[in-house]
Each structure stands twice: as C-alpha cells, then as structure tokens.
Amino acid sequence: MKNNSIKKIGRSDFVNMGPIKLRQPIPTQDIALIDPFVLLHHYGPYPINELNNPFDLGPHPHRGFEPITFLIQGEQLHRDSLGNESVVKAGDVQWTTAGRGIIHAEGPTKEFVKRGGELEGIQLWLNLPAEKKMIPAAYQHEKNEEFKHVISEDKKVSVQVIAGALEETNGRIATQTAVNAFMIDVEVGGEYFLRIPKSHQSLLYLIKGEVKINASESLEMNENQMLWFEQDGDGILIKGKEKSKLLFLSGEPINEEIKSWGPYVMNSQTEIMEALRDYQQGKFGFLPA
C-alpha cells in the first residue's frame, strides 16, 4: 500500500468572529479551500458560565452549502426556520443542508451556562454543486452513541464513521455529495492505515495530542495543525505519540467557481445578490430571536 504524500502543511491561526477568537485552518493565505471544503473553524475550548458566554449565535441565514458542527465538549441548543429544535451534546454531530435557504441559531443551553463547563467544537462548511445549491433545506442531528466505529488491530485506534464509509462501515449521515467524515481517537503507540478514495481530496486536522504520519519522523503533527494530502496513494498511516483526537475529511472535488459572501456560498455574484434579496424578503423562513 502506498502512502498519500503531503501536498501542504496548514497553519491554524486565531481569527476574530464577533466577540470570540477561534482557529481557522481553512481558508488561509496559503490554502484558499480544499475542494469541496470551503471553511473549517475550531472553536474553544471556552470556559462557559453565567458571567462568560461569548458563543451565543443568534438567528442568521445560510444558502448554497452545508454548515456542519462536530461538538467536542459542552452542550449547544440548535433552532432553525424549519422548526427543528435540538440539544447537541459532546460527540454529537449536526449536519445542516442550507440549500436554497435556512435561518438557524446556536449557543450553549441555559442549563449548561448555569452549571458551567468547557465548550469546544468544529464547524465545517461543505460546498454543494450548482445543481444542488437550491434544493430544500434539511437538518440532521446524530448522537454520539449512535455512530459506528472501526477499530484498529491493536485496539488502540478508534475511527468514528460519521459520514461516508470505511471498511464496509457506513456513517449515519445522509450526504448530498461523495464525502467522508471521521473522528479518530488514538492511544499512545496505536497504529492504523486509513484508506482514502483516489478520487477524493483529503485533509487531517489534529484537535489534540501528537501523532506521526506515514511512519516518517519528519511528519509529526502537532496540535491544531492540518495536513492536505495529494491524491497519489492508497491512504495514510497514523501512529499515536500521545493520546490524540483527529478529524479526517475527504470528498470528491466539485471543480466549480465559488463566490462567497458572509453566510452564502454560491457560483456567481448575481446569485449572492439574489440570496441577499431573498433573505430580506423572508424567503428563508422565520426564526424568532
């Protein structure tokens, strides 16, 4: 089996988003996007309590892509203009298909704020092809305990299959495009060869810990580092140097021009203007503050 070589090593610097700072491995000055992945934010861990709750995002719109949240720590309340309301807990995933338009709000639950705790998660923006940008909006919430896992032979690596498939194990999320999303937990010394479809662009983001990639001492990943892989091999070899958690993403490139503005990801400036108009005219639905 041939290892996929590294195309680029990405940084994950802090950026400001309103009152909070978060890490942003995509986009950066060096990596505009990894098609079909448009944006990746790693927020927290934030200490949340009644005197400190910066991560309370009121109603806001989206169109043309899929905003996805992988919650690592804490508890969030999701509400949207489709009428969905759900409490997302640590390990859960909320996968929103914005399509032709949705308004949603998210933030720590009142109960979580009252008792206090750490809030941490990943938000991913997954692009939709032109033919699907105006499909009806949809929402999926899958709980941590419902996902299946692939376990390494040494029992020290656990791959949670969220979307797509790995070793004939299918994720619970129904996807609009060919995409894999796995959360990987690695113990010290654990080793696993993760197969990657040759048609997919792929990336690996280290949330915490330290791992070695492709058995090379020169490819040690540090916390909050991202690797973007070439499409020239069968997969990647992951070996744990510390107890670690990683997010792996892969997907077939859409190869279409992207025009994005604020919460919209479309194919032309005209479509961005149409999204602004449609939102102002109430075509995304309604969600009270």
CATH label of the domain that carries residue 46:
2.60.120.10
When pLDDT is cut at 50, 70 and 90, the band that residue 8 belongs to is very high
Output the pLDDT for position 17.
85
Closest to 86 (Cα-Cα) out of 106, 57, 66: 106
For the segment 10-14, the average pLDDT, to the nearest whole number, is: 93
Per the domain annotation, does 283 fall within a domain? no
Output the pLDDT for position 218.
58
Closest to 246 (Cα-Cα) out of 287, 195, 167, 186: 186
pLDDT at 235 over 80: yes
The model carries a pTM of 0.96
Per the domain annotation, does 226 fall within a domain? yes
Output the pLDDT for position 18.
80
When pLDDT is cut at 50, 70 and 90, the band that residue 289 belongs to is confident
Give the chain's domain count. Answer: 1
Per the domain annotation, does 276 fall within a domain? no
Per-residue tokens: 280: 């102002």
For the segment 12-18, the average pLDDT, to the nearest whole number, is: 90
Per the domain annotation, does 260 fall within a domain? no
Q: For residue range 173-210, what is the model confidence (pLDDT) as tens digits? A: 999 999 999 999 999 999 999 999 999 999 999 999 99
Q: For residue range 128-172, what is the model confidence (pLDDT) as tens digits? A: 999 999 999 999 999 999 999 999 999 999 999 999 999 999 999
Residue 118, beta-bridge partner list: 47
Per the domain annotation, does 201 fall within a domain? yes
Per the domain annotation, does 157 fall within a domain? yes
Q: What are phi and psi of 64, to 5 degrees?
A: 90, 0
Output the pLDDT for position 155.
98
When pLDDT is cut at 50, 70 and 90, the band that residue 217 belongs to is low
For the segment 245-257, the average pLDDT, to the nearest whole number, is: 98
What is the per-residue DSSP string for 19-48? TEEEEEEES-SS-S-BTTEEEEEEEEEEEE
Q: Which of 19-28, 71-80, 84-93, 216-225 has the lowest mean pLDDT?
A: 216-225
* Structural domain boundaries, residue 108: 6-251
Per the domain annotation, does 263 fall within a domain? no
Per the domain annotation, does 233 fall within a domain? yes
Alpha helices in the chain (DSSP H): 110-115, 269-280
Residue 5, beta-bridge partner list: none
